[in-house]
Amino acid sequence: MDVRIKFLGAVKSVTGSKYLLEIDDKRILVDCGLFQGPKELRLRNWSKLPIDPKQIDVIVVTHAHIDHTGYLPRLAKEGYGGKIICTEATKDLMGIMLPDAGKLQEEEAQFAFKHGYSKHSKPEPLFGVADAEMVLEMVEAHPMDKKIALTNNIEISFRNAGHILGAALVEFYLRGDSQNKKIVFSGDLGREEDPLMYPPAKVNQADILLIESTYGDRNNPMDRVEKELEEVTNFTVDNGGLLIVPSFAVGRTQNLIYYFHKLIAEKRIPAIPIYIDSPMAISVSSLYEKHGQINKLEVHKEGSKLISVFDAPNIRFCNTPESSRELNDLKNPAIIVSASGMCTGGRILHHLYHRLGNKKDTVLFVGYQAEGTRGRDILEGKESVRIFGIEVPIKCSIKKINGLSAHADQSELMNWISAFESSPKMTFITHGEEATARVLQDKIKTTKGWNCFVPDYLESFELFSSI
């Protein structure tokens, strides 16, 4: 058996996760994410993959975030017709998120066309809703912790990664002629003490390890999260303003609902309305109730209905574009949680458009802001930012809370690898900006002595030959 890996994304950056495993004549793609952030990265979504999608045998997906799944519809559009294997909750989430991503792509192309700010005379979307629907037909879901045979000598198993609902790390078990080998893809690893997700499963051995490094260079302790949320909310209420929170609709938003609800119940913040302005938030939240065995949410039954903190009276879901637009007229203190988390698209844009210039309001960042995104520009103190083709001045307060991230920080990553009983032959540091990945590389090298690499985009490595 000969095994090679080619890095097609999420190297020296945090988006576009795509790893091509070539095992003899089989080609397996692990994750199939969209590039987001700086233009030179986004342009990669438009360049041809170095492999014909029809030649990929199977795709394995770690979790539903768009930077891990958002390229699947494009791949389907270009002829991929094989299986897409993931966990059950990931399948349900993809059913919500991919058509939404397709709609966003179509709307952006349409908007650019209408307002004439695209260089193209007729901008085409990267993919559309129909392509996303095509992907959903190919998805095959499996439970966690169960061996799944991909071929007669390759098996995989999903283990809880604790990052978002259904997120898994993937163990590949290879049976060669003379030796057995194990490759582990960490996927995105979650926190040890997330309020809703269980901590990542421990792995004690791998011959090859790919580990994410989003926060490989820093620690984001969670112990101050509640206090900081309390302070920012009360600061905004005292100013008579609104608190705008750009947030991933999946995971982060549910954690925010949990925290705000707790702070109100403990009378640490006033019982102001909390608007969840994300079309997918209700469905996603109900998936937390449906997949109760893989998260910590407390759910009880009232008749045939499942009830949780998501049903609390001051939590208001905005189902329609009209209910979303009505929020622009709000004058009294309230909290608006809306997507996308890095302000790259979605309803958060019109909230920012209306609120950034208002001194009384606060924009609170609760997640990673990748280079080149509007979120990063706002966070770094730019005086204005471009939204809908218009330069919008930034006069509101800008705040940030780190501990809410759904990614393991450096100490948690180091703690996770400390469960390994022996050194992998090769460890690849992925899913982190280069400087961050280098810090984690040094840390692992100096404390563990492991053989670590920070791969380049499109670089390939021979993992095993003639085993």
Sites of contact with Zn ion (CB under 5 A): 65, 188
Q: What are phi and psi of 172, to 5 degrees?
A: -100, 125
| Shortest Cβ 97–Zn ion spacing (Å) | 11
User: Which residue's CB is nearer to Zn ion, number 65 or number 159?
Assistant: 65
CB of 163 to Zn ion, least distance (A): 6
CB 148 within 8 A of CB 298: no
Least separation in angstroms between residue 120's CB and Zn ion is 30
With respect to Zn ion, which residue has the nearer C-beta, 125 or 190? 190
Run of H or E including 326: helix 321-326
Nearest to Zn ion of 241, 403 (CB atom): 403
Residue nearest to Zn ion (CB): 65
Q: Which is nearer to Zn ion, 233 or 430 (CB)?
A: 430
For Zn ion, give the closer residue by CB, 189 or 352.
Answer: 189
Closest approach, Cβ 422 to Zn ion, in A, equals: 28
Evaluate whether 79 touches 53 at the Cβ level (below 8 Å). yes
- How many residues can be counted in the chain? 467
The smaller minimum CB distance to Zn ion, of residues 188 and 226, is found at 188
Q: What is the smallest separation between the CB atom of 103 and Zn ion, expressed in angstroms?
A: 21
User: What single-letter DSSP state applies at residue 293?
Assistant: G
Of the chain, the end-to-end C-alpha distance in Å amounts to: 5
Q: What token pair was written down for 108?
A: 């952006």
Q: For tokens 């204005």, what's the residue?
A: 384
Q: Which is nearer to Zn ion, 100 or 188 (CB)?
A: 188
Q: What is the bridge-based pairing of β-strands 18-23 and 3-9? A: antiparallel
Alpha-carbon torsion, ordered 428, 432, 434, 439, to 10 deg: -70
Q: Which of 421, 426, 437 is nearest to 3 (CA)?
A: 426
- State the nearest-atom distance from the C-beta of 187 to Zn ion, in Å: 8
Closest CA to 287 of 269, 306, 300: 306
Q: What are phi and psi of 253, to 5 degrees?
A: -60, -40
- Closest distance of CB 24 from Zn ion, Å: 30
